[in-house]
Amino acid sequence: MQSGSITASIDLPTVADVLRWLPTFCILDCFNVTILGCGSAKPTLRHSPSAQVVNFRDNRFLVDCGEGVQVGLCRSQVPLGRIGHIFLSHLHGDHCLGLVGLISTLGLGQRTGEVVIHGPADTERIFRPLFEFFCPQLSMEVRFEAHDTQHSSVIYESANMRVTTIPLHHRVPCSGFLFEELPRPRHLLVERCRELDIPVAYYRGITLGNDWTDPASGQVVPNDLLTSPGTPGRKYAYCSDTIYAESIIPIIEGADLLYHEATYAHADVVKARQRGHSTALQAAQIAQKAHVGQLVLGHYSAQFLSAEMERPLLDEARTVFANTILANERMVVEVGESTKGQSTKDEI
């Protein structure tokens, strides 16, 4: 062996190793939405009231909490104990009357830690007394966070995710929610860094946007010469209930996935506006103008009693926005470029 040379034995991973690691990799990158309920105010045998779970890297966020939400969570095999934040769009019963039962069940399970309920200004005034009566001596803390339904604002932020309100136009104060993955770190141009003899210890800071200053010469190398743009964050927008409102477009622009209410077909557009709702065609127009990746229709009127009766909603939406599907209970829709247009259940 020549002087100064280094040899090393490297054990490559086996297929079994890859299969064992794969679930962990999937969890760390998952971003999907599970539909628990996509009906509207009047109960039907076909659909449950509004509720869904956003799963981001195994963190579960409950969005709206209509009656039957606990059954939906069980059927979709969503662990109740993983829900730490609940987002209420507004205080109509089909979006919030499942809340007391859910909190009660969490208490019976001796849940610890904190559950945060995000909602309009009156949420705590209405629900705090109900919790005190039906759920005394809870083992966890329930905290209410009120938000302004008339202005868009950030109401939750972690190291990887941000949730922003979307002011909607309904008969009562109402907000949608934009779940946005924060931009990933910039990609390091390793060969360029090696050419400049930049120590490896500085690589992390460079991927986070720092420039490099040569300690010998004092020369500053701009970050954009050492990195390339990181992978854009994925976005999911939830918009229910609302009339047709182009004011939401700048907020949801470019979202990978949009859930938009479609209570009626466009033949009932006058009734839809009078009751503070949208038609399937209007939802598609919003999706098209906002350049979203995929549209999911939901919040169906009780008049649609079968899959065949719901089909015209899909047909009219697809005349404007082709990548549209109909929501259904237990449907799981992926958020992101690699799965755009795909779901794990049939459209109807």
Same domain for 38 and 98?
Answer: yes
Same domain for 45 and 84?
Answer: yes
Q: What is the pLDDT of residue 185?
A: 82
Same domain for 198 and 56?
Answer: no
Q: What is the pLDDT of residue 16?
A: 54
Same domain for 46 and 130?
Answer: yes
Number of H helices, E strands in the chain: 11, 18
Instruction: Give the strands of the sheet with 257-261, arranged side by side.
Output: 154-157, 161-167, 175-181, 235-239, 257-261, 294-298, 324-326
CATH of the domain at 25: 3.60.15.10
Same domain for 243 and 282?
Answer: yes
pLDDT tens digit string along 157-180? 999 999 999 999 999 999 999 999
Residue type, 218: G
Q: Which of 11, 58, 64, 94 is catalytic?
A: 94
116, 85 contact by CB (below 8 A)? yes
pLDDT tens digit string along 212-263? 998 888 889 999 999 998 888 999 999 999 999 999 999 999 999 999 999 9
Spatial neighbors of 315 by CB under 8 A, at least 6 apart, are none
**248 occurs within a structural domain:** yes
**344 occurs within a structural domain:** no
pTM to 2 decimal places: 0.85
pLDDT band at 15 (very low <50, low <70, confident <90, very high): low
**320 occurs within a structural domain:** yes
Pairing of strands 51-56, 141-146: unpaired
Same domain for 44 and 177?
Answer: yes
Q: Is 11 a catalytic residue?
A: no
Provide the domain limits for residue 108.
Answer: 19-184+231-333
Q: What is the pLDDT of residue 27?
A: 64
Specify the number of domains making up the chain: 2
Same domain for 329 and 218?
Answer: no
Same domain for 120 and 59?
Answer: yes
Q: How far is the C-alpha of 328 from the C-alpha of 68, rounded, in Å?
A: 15
Same domain for 138 and 194?
Answer: no
pLDDT tens digit string along 281-314? 999 999 999 999 999 999 999 999 999 999 999 9
Domain boundary among 207, 228, 249: 228
Same domain for 289 and 264?
Answer: yes
Mean pLDDT along residues 22-50: 85
Q: What is the pLDDT of residue 1?
A: 40
Same domain for 169 and 219?
Answer: no
Mean pLDDT along residues 80-91: 95
Q: What is the pLDDT of residue 100?
A: 98
Mean pLDDT along residues 54-58: 95
pLDDT tens digit string along 215-226? 888 889 999 999
List phi, psi (to 5°) of 195: -60, -35
Q: What is the pLDDT of residue 149?
A: 98
Same domain for 128 and 272?
Answer: yes
213, 219 contact by CB (below 8 A)? yes
Low-confidence winner among 26-35, 60-69, 134-143, 339-348 (lowest mean pLDDT): 339-348
Q: What is the pLDDT of residue 43?
A: 84
**310 occurs within a structural domain:** yes
Q: What is the pLDDT of residue 345?
A: 44
Cα dihedral angle (240, 241, 243, 248), rounded to 10 degrees? -40
Q: How far is the C-alpha of 285 from the C-alpha of 241, rounded, in Å?
A: 16
